[in-house]
A and B are shown apart, each in its own frame.
Chain A
């Protein structure tokens, strides 16, 4: 399905998630939503608003502050035929459930020798700004992508958010769905009908021949603005959005770098041992000798998130950081 062929309209990222949940629950009565405060009018930042009224408390459940149990409950329910979506207001809160994720969910299919599936979707929202501080802003998506047996989506646009969430709900492999809170009001054209976006398929958000920026999650709009600024100086940047980091579409990334022969990766996670390092390593293995410049990572400093607004500004990379890095690469 092409976007232009579909009946579509502009929708915000947050509303697209809400629509994905509503349509999933309409399509299949096995879909349930579990999470703290999911059944209140405000929903989780609006993403669950209206679901409890529409589908009743049996399918939209406020959950105790027991994150580990919440994941385990979703797993057992999935085993018994339901398709649960678990919601965490913050990624940081999900950390209590790492045992359920790493010791059970991710390896369930493997351990059963392919006889048992656990179609569980876990939504984790990542805060950014307004003093969220070190316990409301972490994005440890690299940790999750490190685990075999788990799919990890980190959509940057409303249409991808809807499509990847619906794919998560209706596929057999568990998925963690990472949502940048700062993206919630941003809009794109979103088809009205239910659809999926496939995991493991990157999209080229802008074409160019001088350098490739691989941008993850909420770094995508920033990378696109940087690319627009660089174009005014005659530098053509290609922006690749992997959309999912597990599986990672290394073919699209490598094809782009094979063309531009310069790579910058920008990831809203810490600099070291992260997704950016993984992408740089993959490209180095594939086309190390062909690069015209050393690859660059533009990520968060290896530090916990500060609260103060001035420190936040210093902490989160903006388009200027990307522009400077690309200019330096191209000049060489």
Chain B
């Protein structure tokens, strides 16, 4: 695969947020040759994420027990669902502020997720991080709210993996807005330079809060720009879960064999406000038609209808799936709500790890220091 060219656009159209709207109902979803297990998995993961988000949305107000900013990913389920079927336990996954999909994609537990956003001691981070900053060390999942900040850390994990000739990869998930940060381009340059095993996943949902991509970027050609750094880049219609799965699979398999870094830009859309359950449409930043287009092309619906038409899914299976997911969510909500709140006894040890086992093992401690006071401080030589 040539590292510096953008592969052909699917459907032969110049894919961007304007041309997409001309598609009407998306017809290109193709499941030929895909395993039944994969397709069922995609549907299951998307539905589980959707129902989880809906449950949080529903619970958020008026109960006000979830007291942290929450960025919902309803409408953007295809990418995390595809990723969840392909990512391995030993891979590293780093997420931007819209963490939920990625948290679940990495297989991190739902109970610690709910407990975290409820601020409980049983949470993934004992209530210190919340929705935006949640991490789950045992699952090698790390979130964080500063745009593009975690991408460089993902590069570092990829550096260590390459250093150890590991087949594992590092993955960074973020929005198109993060690509405006200088930190992003530093990361892309270094990934291309060293051919690091890092997968950049850019979910382009058009907006940074309310601001349109074309108000912020000279051109909406992220892939083209990234490709010039020697990072394979391809853009896809991101609500097609089957296509997303095939694309990620191709990239991840190549990467595990030393194929170098890649970026996948998935065009998608968030249905809800940027943050929180309140409606932000009074800012008049997007049209009713645009929202209608994307709701019509709901990633779950697109796949479900295709599977149903092919006789591979039906209402009975749907009901079973729904009740299974509902039970899981209900149980984990209950766990979170009945968990105790945390308390920090010592702020200092909360911020520092006082243990240093390796230093204890390797190093003796020098207890004194001496100094000859009559040495003049040196003047610098010309720099």
Using a CB–CB cutoff of 8 Å, the interface residues on chain A facing chain B are: 1-3, 6, 27-28, 32, 58, 64, 66, 68-69, 71-82, 84, 99-100, 103-104, 106-107, 109-117, 127-130, 132, 136, 148-149, 151, 156-157, 159-160, 163, 166-167, 170-173, 181-189, 191, 193-198, 203, 205-206, 218, 220-222, 224-225, 227-228, 241, 243
Contacts and interface: CB of A to CB of B under 8 A. Distances in A.
Interface of B: 92, 124-126, 128-129, 133, 135, 137-138, 142, 144, 146, 149-161, 163-164, 170, 182-183, 186-187, 189-190, 193, 347, 350-353, 355-359, 362-375, 377-383
24 contacts: A66-B190, A73-B190, A75-B156, A79-B142, A80-B156, A99-B149, A104-B153, A107-B351, A112-B129, A113-B126, A113-B128, A113-B129, A116-B137, A117-B353, A149-B351, A157-B369, A167-B359, A170-B358, A181-B380, A187-B372, A195-B364, A205-B371, A218-B377, A222-B377
A81 B163 CA distance: 11
A198 B364 CA distance: 10
A228 B371 CA distance: 13
Given A104-B149, A114-B353, A115-B137, A1 B128 contact: no
B23 to A, nearest CB: 37
Contact of B377 (A132, A157, A182, A197): A182
Given A64-B190, A80-B159, A182-B380, 9 more contacts: A32-B163, A72-B152, A73-B152, A75-B152, A77-B156, A80-B92, A132-B380, A206-B373, A222-B377
Contacts of B189: 64, 66
B88 to A, nearest CB: 14
A194 B153 contact: no
B159 A73 contact: yes
A157 to B, nearest CB: 5
A191 to B, nearest CB: 6
Nearest to A162: B366
A197 B365 contact: yes
Nearest to A206: B373
A53 B190 CA distance: 23
B160 A159 contact: no
A110 B128 contact: yes
Nearest to A191: B366
A171 B356 contact: yes
A163 B186 contact: no
